[in-house]
Amino acid sequence: MADLIQKKRHLSSFQSIILGFAALILIGALLLMLPIASKSRTFTPFNEALFTATSAVCVTGLVVHDTASYWSAFGQSIIIILIQIGGLGVVTVAVSFALVSGRRISLMQRSTMQESISAPKVGGIVRLTGFVLKTTLFFEMFGTLVMLPSFITRFGVKGIWMALFHSVSAFCNAGFDVMGTKTATYVSLTSFADDPVVNMMLMFLIVIGGIGFLTWDDIFINRHHFKKYRLQSKIILSSTAVFILIPALFFFIFDFSDLTALKRLLNSLFQSVTTRTAGFNTADISKMTSASKAIMIVLMLIGGSPGSTAGGMKTTTVAVLFANAIAGFKRKNDPQLFGRRIETKAVKNAATILMMYFALFIGGALVISVAEHLPIGTCLFETASAIGTVGLTMGITPQLGIVSQCVLMLLMFFGRVGGLTLIHAAISGTNQNLSKFPQEKVTVG
């Protein structure tokens, strides 16, 4: 992969990222089609294998087959490898192999890596790559060891694989689980709803994976000195706290009233955390209130943070738009956050991303609703889950036709690669016209 990036120098960084993800999905689909990948030892139809591979690489978690019941040990291994590569990023993994083999990292590879993890500059990108790999391995192994007693107690030796699988899946915000059986499928982590160790560890891994590699670096370098953090890290950490605590409080008040206080608290927190692109669930989402489902849709669209394993519009996008709205209310020329002025380009990009996500989210739901004759509300939940690379579902995905599956696959791919990446890849190399049209005032609002 590293050689491929080096040879294709005529490709832009954005195009390399897109082609890398697409190639990985295709390879994963072909492997999952093999008889050895399924427990029944039969060929899996291409569209089903492609959907699973897309969901794994795009760290979403929407599935057409229950992972534990349908896929063999080989198939599950392929899925978790795809999740790991998709979570870290194809380019990150390719550059990592080059580092391990002792090869020189070219400027083109450094530039592509910069775009892949949303780094502010090319300088120090090799050091950052090494930091990302070591930190990822540490957290995934730490999560595995902490959850190991709970899984071994319930599942014996098999619990070792299950603890590792769920640790990687949680850190990569993938939402794939291997909890299903032949008698009960698509159960996710509902059997662990009252296990505080597993709940807290999974939530910790989801949040750590979703705040972004650069934020880890900031925390590692500056420790508890919050004032020294980059503006982006300050926005990510503060907005992440807000998007977890406020929805959790709402869920605690209006849902799970039949549970004990501890289980109610765990369910409320877990459902708040998991909607931000993780995709696990410890409660029956269909039984939650309509207002809670609407909040979950909003959280799924927001997603995680830039340069992380998470998808969605990103927390910084919402924060920038919020700051711009506040500036508009106060009649200020520039939006501000934490004593810093936000550049106009960031506001334009945030508005563009918001419009693209809403258009695809609503457009995809309309197509599925018409094609499958399903309620629009249910379809909106599914498309929000797909484009936010979350994986939560109202249970309709396994029954969808090929057209609807294709819609969800496109939304998952778009949500993982990123809207601006696709646009920049499409217009890369085009001539920019520097001339301007005459300006005229337009009244809005």
What is the Cα–Cα distance from 116 to 96, expressed in whole angstroms?
Answer: 13
- Is residue 216, in this structure, part of any structural domain at all? yes
The residues facing 71 across adjacent strands are 38
Q: Which residues contact 319 (CB under 8 A, 6 or more apart)?
A: 235, 239, 337
1, 5, 11, 104, 157 from 107: Cα distances, Å: 16, 11, 13, 10, 46
Specify the DSSP class assigned to residue 428. Answer: T
Which position has the higher pLDDT, 329 or 308? 329
Lowest mean pLDDT segment, chosen from 24-33, 194-203, 214-223: 214-223
The whole-number pLDDT of residue 7 equals 46
- Is residue 287, in this structure, part of any structural domain at all? yes
What is the Cα–Cα distance from 443 to 148, expressed in whole angstroms?
Answer: 60
The whole-number pLDDT of residue 5 equals 44
Q: What is the mean pLDDT of residues 24-47?
A: 95
Which position has the higher pLDDT, 250 or 261? 250
Q: Which of 23, 18, 217, 3 is nearest to 108 (CA)?
A: 3
Q: Which of 194, 187, 192 is nearest to 259 (CA)?
A: 194
The per-residue pLDDT of the chain, averaged, comes to: 86
- Is residue 43, in this structure, part of any structural domain at all? yes
Q: For 229-255, what is each residue's pLDDT tens digit?
A: 999 999 999 999 999 999 999 999 999
The whole-number pLDDT of residue 420 equals 62
The whole-number pLDDT of residue 108 equals 65
The whole-number pLDDT of residue 77 equals 96
DSSP string computed for 81-125:
HHHHHHHH-HHHHHHHHHHHTTPPPPHHHHHHHHHHTT-S-STTH
- Is residue 435, in this structure, part of any structural domain at all? no
- The helix (run of H) or strand (run of E) holding residue 70 is helix 67-70
Q: For 91-138, what is each residue's pLDDT tens digit?
A: 666 666 666 666 666 666 666 666 665 666 655 667 777 888 889 999
- Is residue 103, in this structure, part of any structural domain at all? yes
- Is residue 327, in this structure, part of any structural domain at all? yes
CA atoms within 13 A on the CB side of 67: 28
Per the structure, the count of domains in the chain is 1
Q: Is 375 helix (H, G, I), strand (E, B) or coil?
A: coil
pLDDT band at 439 (very low <50, low <70, confident <90, very high): confident
Q: What is the mean pLDDT of residues 172-180?
A: 90
For residue 32, pLDDT over 60 is answered with: yes
What is the Cα–Cα distance from 314 to 321, expressed in whole angstroms?
Answer: 11
| Torsional sign, CA 99, 104, 107, 108 | negative
- Is residue 217, in this structure, part of any structural domain at all? yes
- Is residue 187, in this structure, part of any structural domain at all? yes
Q: Is 20 helix (H, G, I), strand (E, B) or coil?
A: helix
Lowest mean pLDDT segment, chosen from 7-21, 287-301, 369-383: 7-21
Which position has the higher pLDDT, 259 or 48? 48
Residue 299 structural domain = 2-424
The whole-number pLDDT of residue 123 equals 58
What is the Cα–Cα distance from 140 to 205, expressed in whole angstroms?
Answer: 8
Q: Is the pTM of this model over 0.95?
A: no
The whole-number pLDDT of residue 8 equals 44
What is the Cα–Cα distance from 89 to 5, expressed in whole angstroms?
Answer: 14
Q: What is the mean pLDDT of residues 151-159?
A: 94
For residue 404, pLDDT over 90 is answered with: yes
